[in-house]
Amino acid sequence: MERELYAGVMSGTSLDGVDAVVADFAPAGGGCCQTLGAAHVPYPTLVRDELLALQTPGANEFARAGAAANMLAELYADAIGRALLQARLDHEALRAAGVHGQTLRHRPDRGWTLQLNNPARVAEKADMTIVADFRSRDVAAGGQGAPLVPAFHAALFRRPDRDRVIVNVGGIANITILPRESAGAVSGFDTGPGNVLLDQWCARNRGEPYDAQGAWASTGTPDPKLLEALLADPFFAAAPPKSTHRDKFNVAWLKQKLEAAGHQGDSENVQATLVALTARTIADAIRRYAPATEEVLVSGGGGNNATLMRALAQELKPRRVDTTASEGVPVEHVEALAFAWLAREALAGRPGNLPAVTGAKGPRILGAIYPR
């Protein structure tokens, strides 16, 4: 069987760096795909600081965004090259790479979404076909443009004999509901903040970009009054389809909630409460929309947070809670694989969205193609 080799590149709302994979979607042993190589390229401090600054309006935005897009393109091409090196493949072996870009704004309620990228530059640097701008077509069709990974989750993780939920905990958390194959349609939606508030609170109070393993949060105690104030946000009770971004869940949002709760406590208790918020909102979504779930598999950076994983397991008893690594897929590879798969679907002329997830008017081919 001829191999179908694609790369996928993802830089998520956590703003930690770029994940790239090279995968074969016609593996000799069967199954959805086989990862052949992977790479992580951390954001240089300059790039991360500029991307954080561009999350909010500021002076000279267009010129700064253009320069940042070029810096991202260099990092994306570098990440693809590193993944190819690990896979021991030449760039000519790949049919294309799916490059998501860095989300700066996400406003499907106003009919637009913005992922910073310069895919033409990536195509030049990587010397291959690039597929980018995956969300815009779904938004144009009346959808949320997110989450886009559920179709891939179904291809990779759906089983005939059990009801599953895949939870991606990046900056924002989302769930994919995978009923056993005879039991109904795949669905999913964003549940709210994943790591974004945890990372921001840690950076503000400890000067570290994230709380490794949730160690700092484990020293605190969740504050019930503060948790109640956080959970009162209307987003959590809203019915899907729904999606969100850090332009809603951010330090300003948290500060408002802290003031509403009259919270003056220790910073580690706030961190512990934010872990509880992420775990509770994910679990509430599963209990409400997927009560038959037997297994929950976690991907994204949150899968490496031991404190969060314990909180999820406690909230979701007696369901089995594990990471996608238990299925042979490292937590940091899942989203990059998804965008490799979406690039494959685009080149084949097949829809990549699930209208039941995003709310779009119908199936749409996703992505703009920049030929080699």
Average pLDDT of the residues in 19-33: 89
Average pLDDT, the chain: 95
Q: Please, are residues 129 and 369 in contact by the beta-carbon 8 Å criterion?
A: yes
Q: What would the CATH number be for the domain defined by 5-145+332-370?
A: 3.30.420.40
Q: Which band of pLDDT confidence, cut at 50, 70 and 90, is reported for residue 1?
A: low
Q: What is residue 27's predicted lDDT score, i.e. its pLDDT?
A: 84
* Domain 150-327 CATH class label: alpha beta
How far, in whole angstroms, is CA 230 from its chain's centroid?
22
Q: Please, are residues 47 and 72 in contact by the beta-carbon 8 Å criterion?
A: yes
Average pLDDT of the residues in 76-99: 98
Is the pLDDT at 290 greater than 90? The verdict is: yes
Is the pLDDT at 71 greater than 90? The verdict is: yes
Per-residue model confidence as pLDDT tens digits over 228-275: 999 999 999 999 999 999 889 999 999 999 988 888 767 999 999 999
Q: What are the residue ranges spanned by the domains of the chain?
A: 5-145+332-370, 150-327
Residue 319 gets which letter from DSSP? S
Q: Please, are residues 103 and 114 in contact by the beta-carbon 8 Å criterion?
A: yes
Per-residue model confidence as pLDDT tens digits over 195-228: 999 999 999 999 999 999 999 999 999 999 999 9
CA 88 to CA 290: how far, in whole Å? 42
Q: Which helix (H) or strand (E) holds 52?
A: helix 45-53
Average pLDDT of the residues in 80-100: 98
Per-residue tokens: 118: 């310069």
Q: What is the pTM of this model?
A: 0.94
Average pLDDT of the residues in 112-127: 97
Whether 150-327 and 5-145+332-370 are alike in CATH topology: the answer is yes
Angle between helices 150-157 and 334-347 (to 10 degrees): 100
In what order do the strands lie in the sheet containing 17-24? Answer: 34-42, 17-24, 5-10, 96-99, 130-132, 368-370
Looking up tokens 């989450």 gives 147
E strands, 182-317, are 187-193, 295-299
Q: Which residues pair with 254 in a beta bridge?
A: none
CB within 8 Å of 160: residues ≥ 6 apart? 180, 181, 182
Average pLDDT of the residues in 60-76: 96
Strands 368-370 and 130-132: antiparallel
Per-residue tokens: 356: 């039941």
The percentage of the chain sitting over the pLDDT mark of 70, rounded to a whole number, equals 99
Q: Who has greater pLDDT, 360 or 29?
A: 360
Is the pLDDT at 109 greater than 70? The verdict is: yes
Is the pLDDT at 55 greater than 90? The verdict is: no
Q: What is residue 2's predicted lDDT score, i.e. its pLDDT?
A: 85
